[in-house]
Amino acid sequence: MGPTQPAHLTRCFFASWLATLSTLATGCSSPPASAGDSGSKAAATASESPPDAVEPAPVDVPAVTHTAFHPFAPGSIRLSAPYDGEPLVTTTLDEGLKVEDYVLGEGEPVVEGSYVTFHYVGYMDDGFVYESSRRRKRPYSFFVGAKQALAGWDLGLRGMRVGGHRRLDVPPALAFGDRGRGPQVPPGSTIVYTIELLAARAPFAAPLELAKLEALAEKTSGEQLRPPKAKADRSVEMEDDVFVHFAQFDAAGELRDGTHRTRVPRRLRVGPTAWTAKLAGMRVGEIRRVRHDGATYLVELMGLDEARSTPKD
């Protein structure tokens, strides 16, 4: 080969290299859009727009009123026997309290101070059952006249006898008044209660006056301040429910709690870890001093509550 050959080859190599670069640059650039591609390009651009690029049109949403579920049609309370029959006696008491007796029961009537135990079902005027002791499988108890329950019950259970079945139409003033009770009992509601009286205890005797109780405690430092009325009575055991009058004093001798002001006994559970554990072995009528956790209790045992031991369904 002559001496001019390498220069010629070099020029050809660079020309070829430049042509290759030009081709690559042209291939990497986007081809011009044809008329048929304009729609797809616009759609792609719109889909890539941020979500808040376009304000959505306002939408009218209709208001929804939520109401409590009622299983019965308004005005059609479905009562179980015997309340679905005709009452034997109908009476209207103070403030429009309507009392209907379906079963009269037996024994002494309930009076002021009686301790009553009963099952109840409470209906709204459209038939909705808002509360039921039967649903909980546990009866309710309170002292009549002690303001421990609805005024309608305080008045409406008087005169009942054990085994009796009674219906009470309780007006708002004797139920929950203008306040109501949560979403189920609106203000101004009349409530219908069906009542089955399971037990009624006669009023307890008055407690020993507080001054005499304290004087009795000063005479002795022992636990027993007065013996029981009858040793043949059953003694208190753990887990018993008992009725007591008591006075609680702190370490400085100040009265902190008790029942002598209201003169209504307190029902307490004799538990293994509470101060009431030291009531085990007491008998009705006994007065005992109990020291517990820096406090002193002077306790008079009034009775045992047997009615709630085996609740009826």
- pLDDT of res. 210: 95
Checking DSSP bridges between strand 255-258 and strand 241-249, what pairing results, if any? Answer: antiparallel
pLDDT in tens, 21-53: 444 444 433 433 433 444 444 444 444 444 444
The mean per-residue pLDDT over the stretch 199-219 comes to 94
Q: Do the Cβ atoms of 138 and 216 come closer than 8 Å? A: no
- pLDDT of res. 77: 81
- pLDDT of res. 74: 47
Tokens of 25: 């640059």
Question: Confidence band (pLDDT; 50, 70, 90) for 307?
Answer: low
- pLDDT at 73 > cutoff 80: no
- pLDDT of res. 55: 52
Rounded CA-CA distance 290/248 in Å is: 9
- pLDDT at 200 > cutoff 60: yes
Question: Confidence band (pLDDT; 50, 70, 90) for 76?
Answer: low
- The reply to whether domains 89-201 and 210-304 share a CATH topology is yes
- Most confidently modeled of 59-63, 108-112, 135-139, 178-182? 108-112
- pLDDT at 14 > cutoff 80: no
The per-residue pLDDT of the chain, averaged, comes to: 80
- Most confidently modeled of 135-139, 292-296, 303-307? 292-296
Q: Which CATH architecture has domain 210-304?
A: Roll (3.10)
pLDDT in tens, 144-193: 999 999 999 999 999 999 999 999 999 999 999 999 988 889 999 999 99
Tokens of 114: 């009686």
End-to-end Cα, the chain, rounded Å: 123
- pLDDT of res. 127: 85
Residue bearing the bigger pLDDT, 54 or 95: 95
pLDDT in tens, 282-298: 999 999 999 999 999 99
Q: Break the chain into its structural domains and give their ranges.
A: 89-201, 210-304
- Residue 200 CB neighbours (<10 A): 24
Q: Does the domain formed by 89-201 have CATH 3.10.50.40?
A: yes
The mean per-residue pLDDT over the stretch 252-269 comes to 94
Q: Which of 45-59, 205-219, 272-286 has the lowest mean pLDDT?
A: 45-59
Query: Which residues, other chains included, contact 295 with Cβ-Cβ below 8 Å and sequence gap of 6+?
Result: 248, 249, 250, 251, 256, 275
- Percent share of the chain, pLDDT over 70: 73
